[in-house]
Amino acid sequence: MKEPTNTRRLIRGTAGAVLLSALAAFIILQVTSQGEDLRTLFQVDFSQLAIAGCLVVLGWVLDAVRIKALVAALGGRLRFLTALRITLAGGFAACVTPFDTGGEPLQVYLLHKQGFEPGESTAIITLKSLISAVARLFLVLLFPTWYLVRRRTWALPKSLETALFIGLLVYTSFFGLSVFFAAYPEYIRVIMDRSLNNKFMNRFISKSTADTVMEHVEKGVCDFRTALTLFLREKRSTLIIISILSLIAWAIAFFIPVLILQGLGIAPPFAETMAIAGIFYLAAAYAPTPGSSGAAELSLAALFGSIVPFPLLGVFVLLWRSVTYYLTLIVGGITLLLTYDNKKPDDERETGGKRE
């Protein structure tokens, strides 16, 4: 299986993500500043930030548990620390690639290094991602439902209503496409065949190379379908557990801004804050910048402007991105540097992906 990324690309992505994020945060701080930003930072209740950081770490742990459980359902073995390293490495890759697209391919690759077939690795990560997407969508839909039922007591600003429904539309469209390819992976083969076997590509790729690629695609599709069928027919209890863990993970993510606002001395409206956090995660998932940097900061400022006092808005954005994005970027980057060694396989390769 070919390595899905390289060092230069990661460095460029990291530099671009950090620069865009820093520029956006600087602009927001300058616009909202009233000369008290640094003073406000020192007045933050750091115990609330510490709890928020612990919840981020708990989210990593839950993701690692989901990977480990799906591996076990296929009859394989994977140490928890290895699953956690795969989670963190994927989190870092998502932080430095446009549309957060680098996380899952890197996790598939790292699982393959543990001895799993490419199709099996893809099935594990795809199922985890699809169930996570369903959980996120389910939680986000709870809030507009609650809003419609109790409209007299809580009214979202018109701009947030528009953002919510546009976000839902875009999210469900991409999600539907992902489900389609998961249910009918043979269409991937059809697309690859048409992409490789045409007059234009024949100028650059020989027929033998194209045939070799298609052989790998055929095998990957076959392994993927076999693993997916096993999960859906015989391992439904595992999928239920994964669904519950995914709901908990996203509930944690939506609760983090509540803690940050409390750390700033603000008593936030609980349901509305979590609803806006859900809207943010729907919208930020499809930002074209590396790790949604720049777009994420501006979106946070726009969405939370109705809750956060204007002078504190820039500090709030900076703290949330530090606790969630930068913490994942730093810990995931260190994890990737320490464990991503192509020359020396992981010491668990002998047992990690082998069937019991």
Range of the domain at 86: 7-352
- Cβ contact 355:81 at 8 Å: no
Mean pLDDT of 155-173: 67
Q: Which of 108-112, 165-169, 211-215, 229-233 has the lowest mean pLDDT?
A: 211-215
Q: pLDDT tens across 245-268, in order?
A: 999 999 999 999 999 999 999 988
Amino acid at 45: D
Closest CA to 308 of 255, 258, 271: 258
Mean pLDDT of 6-10: 66
Residue 2 maps to a domain:
no
Mean pLDDT of 28-54: 79
Q: What is the mean pLDDT of the chain?
A: 79
What pLDDT does residue 350 have? Answer: 39
Cβ count within 10 A of residue 138: 13
What pLDDT does residue 174 have? Answer: 73
Among 45-49, 59-63, 351-355, the range with the most confident prediction by mean pLDDT is 59-63
The larger pLDDT score, comparing residue 40 to residue 309, is at: 309
- Residue 192: which pLDDT band, with cuts at 50, 70 and 90? low
- Cβ contact 223:117 at 8 Å: yes
Residue 263 maps to a domain:
yes
Count up the domains in the chain and report the number.
1
What pLDDT does residue 44 have? Answer: 85
Closest CA to 124 of 42, 37, 226: 226
Q: Look at residue 347 and tell me whether its pLDDT is greater than 70.
A: no
- Residue 356: which pLDDT band, with cuts at 50, 70 and 90? very low
Q: Look at residue 355 and tell me whether its pLDDT is greater than 50.
A: no
Q: pLDDT tens across 72-91, in order?
A: 998 899 999 999 999 999 99
Buried/exposed code over 25-63 (b: 16+ C-beta within 10 A; e: otherwise): beebbeebbeeebeebeeeeeeebbebbbebbeebbebb
The larger pLDDT score, comparing residue 145 to residue 87, is at: 87
Q: Look at residue 124 and tell me whether its pLDDT is greater than 80.
A: yes
Residue 1 maps to a domain:
no
Cβ count within 10 A of residue 230: 15
Residue 187 maps to a domain:
yes
The larger pLDDT score, comparing residue 20 to residue 181, is at: 20
- Residue 220: which pLDDT band, with cuts at 50, 70 and 90? low
Closest CA to 76 of 67, 87, 85, 84: 67
Q: Which of 15-19, 57-61, 292-296 has the lowest mean pLDDT?
A: 292-296
